[in-house]
Every structure is written in C-alpha cells, then in structure tokens.
Amino acid sequence: MKLTKNTKLVMIGDSITDAGRAQPVGEGMGGALGSGYVSLVDALLGATRPDLGIRVINMGTSGNTVRDLAARWQRDVLGLKPDWLSVMIGINDVWRQFDSPTRPERHVPLDEYERTLDDLVTRTLPAVTGLVLMTPFYIEPNTQDLMRAQMDRYGAAVKRLAQKHNALFVDTQAAFNAVLAHLYPATLAWDRVHPGLTGHMVLARAFLRAVEFEW
C-alpha cells in the first residue's frame, strides 16, 4: 500500500466529504470524521493495518466549490502539513449551473474550475508525499442527461490534471456506473448527489483501490 507508517492523510472536498464531520478540524473519535467515505476509509485502515498508525483528517465543507477550497487552502490544507492529500471537488461547481440557472455568480465555469484546481495542486505538490485527485460524480446512468454530461466534462478535467501532475486518479463516476448497472439511482441517493452508506462505500473502495490497499 502506498500509505506508509504514521502517514497523515487529509481529505478535502464538499458535503460528500464533510458528511457531518467535526468543526473546525474533523479528526478524532465519536463521529468526528463524519458519516461518509472518509470515516469508512479510516475504519478500514484502522481495522486492517493498525500497525501503520495512519492519521486521517476530514476537511470537507458542505456547499463548497473549488473557489471555496482556494479561499481556505492555506489554513485547511497547507497549514495541516499532510503527508498525503485527497481532493474531491466539483459537484457544486456543476450543480449550481442547474439548480440556480439565473444566478451566474454562483456558477464555476469549466475553465475556471480546471485552472483553479491546477493552481492548488501546483502549490501543494512540493509539500506532500502523495496526492489523490477524485472526480466529481452524478448518480445518473444516462450520459445524455444534461447535468451528468456536464459532470463528466469536469471529471475529464480532473483526469487531465492527474496526468499532468502524476497524481493518483480516482474515477468516482466509473465506480458508481458499475453499481448503477444493477441499482436504480434513488437506491443510492435520493437527489443523485448525496449517497447513503452504500454509495459512500463505493467512494471509499475507489479511493482505497487507488492507494493499493490490500483487501
């Protein structure tokens, strides 16, 4: 596995990462890591590799776009001095284009999204051992759906950046697609965005496979 002894892993993103984590720093017992994929990653690492003492910190914040991440990057990423960093952002960047169509100031266009994320990655790479970039997703199997199609474009930007910076890449949409071949979207998420426990396990599994976790 790529995560080694005493690794500090910071996982940052929006509400999917947040999942009710403790504020201001999501770390510790009693639900501090939230109820989503971050806590599942921590639990699986702790249960199978307690000898490594991996420290997981959840810095997701509900409602965030890549603009919000940029505004808090120094405090919530660089200031925490992670060894490994995982980033999953973009759902709200896309969603606001559809649920708030008359409020363009809330929209984050694709070029700004990719440029901003590229800048954050460039600033961070010298300070970390490893970086994981996870795509945004939409739990909808129809690729012609307007929001799904737009989400795929943002996911493609994440893939380009992962290739550019030699980061680990997690295609969360592909992970959900495999499940959606058998389950109706509402089974995983009533709004096709905020998954229940099964959906969060899909995300946790995709992340852990990327870091070569031994199942």
> Does the annotation count 191 as an active-site position?
yes
> Does the annotation count 194 as an active-site position?
yes
The predicted structure's pLDDT at residue 153: 98
Q: Please tell me the pTM assigned to this model.
A: 0.95
Of 66, 1, 16, nearest in space to 176 by CA: 16
Which of 15, 42, 86, 93 is an active site residue? 15
For 65-89, what is each residue's pLDDT tens digit?
A: 999 999 999 999 999 999 999 999 9
- The pLDDT-based confidence of 30 (bands split at 50, 70, 90) is confident
Residue ranges of the domains in the chain? Answer: 8-210
Which of 86, 107, 191, 200 is an active site residue? 191
Token readout for 143 is: 């690729």
| Torsion 186-137-111-153 (CA) sign | negative
**Secondary-structure class of domain 8-210 per CATH:** alpha beta
For 124-146, what is each residue's pLDDT tens digit?
A: 999 999 999 999 999 999 999 99
Q: Which burial class, exposed, middle or buried, applies to 111 when counting CB atoms under 10 A from its CB (0-12, 13-18, 19+)?
A: exposed
Which of 68, 107, 145, 194 is an active site residue? 194
